[in-house]
Chains A and B, each alone.
Chain A
Amino acid sequence: GAGVSQSPSNKVTEKGKDVELRCDPISGHTALYWYRQSLGQGLEFLIYFQGNSAPDKSGLPSDRFSAERTGGSVSTLTIQRTQQEDSAVYLCASSVTGNLNTEAFFGQGTRLTVV
């Protein structure tokens, strides 16, 4: 595709349920990032992938959060036993390399609401 694609655009889930958020990066981009954006806040780094490996997952808030990337392409962010504080917009970005000399392109985000 032409840009980074995220699905679903919106997700409403009940507290305690598991959710999966999907990111399709730009073809050929080796680096992929997940961020969380809460209302009125800046972006919070969650995890960084280079290819299929995650050199830095230090931003994942708890062990309820996990992410994987397969085939150097699609990534899935999974949140288990969702809590209300998990409500936020989850943004995915990709770049040609992991060096910020190359621009990171963002998807439109998944708005997660935990009720």
Chain B
Amino acid sequence: QQQVKQSPQSLIVQKGGISIINCAYENTAFDYFPWYQQFPGKGPALLIAIRPDVSEKKEGRFTISFNKSAKQFSLHIMDSQPGDSATYFCAASKSNYQLIWGAGTKLIIKP
């Protein structure tokens, strides 16, 4: 019930394409769903986050889609660029201090 399952483990996308990473959760008490971006040798950095009262949130080229009934949420990166190459983590929380993390997706954008 505490798990967040993330897929795919790795992803290669051509420059300019759309990168899609998916996550699924079980605990219906989760009400905060952030995505973090991590570059090698750095700590994760918050990219974008959503709460379940909306189905979509967009910030620049990054969009979170949220499906409450299916208990799934996804990150879409439009017009993917080589600088987007990083590891992406989804997470979920009950709006307290503790985040439950997905296993991560290593994204490579080919020029």
Contact = CB atoms under 8 A, between A and B. Distances in A.
A103 interface: yes
A108 B43 contact: yes
Interface residues of B, number: 23
A91 B89 CA distance: 14
Interface in B31-45: 32, 34, 41-45
A71 interface: no
Contacts, number: 60
Contact of A43 (B41, B46, B89): B89
Interface in B81-99: 89, 91, 93, 95-99
A106 B96 contact: no
Q: 8 shortest A-B CB distances, which residue pairs?
A: A106-B43, A42-B101, A98-B97, A43-B101, A42-B103, A48-B97, A103-B46, A100-B93
Given A43-B44, A43-B89, A104-B99, 7 more contacts: A42-B101, A43-B91, A48-B97, A100-B97, A105-B43, A105-B45, A106-B44
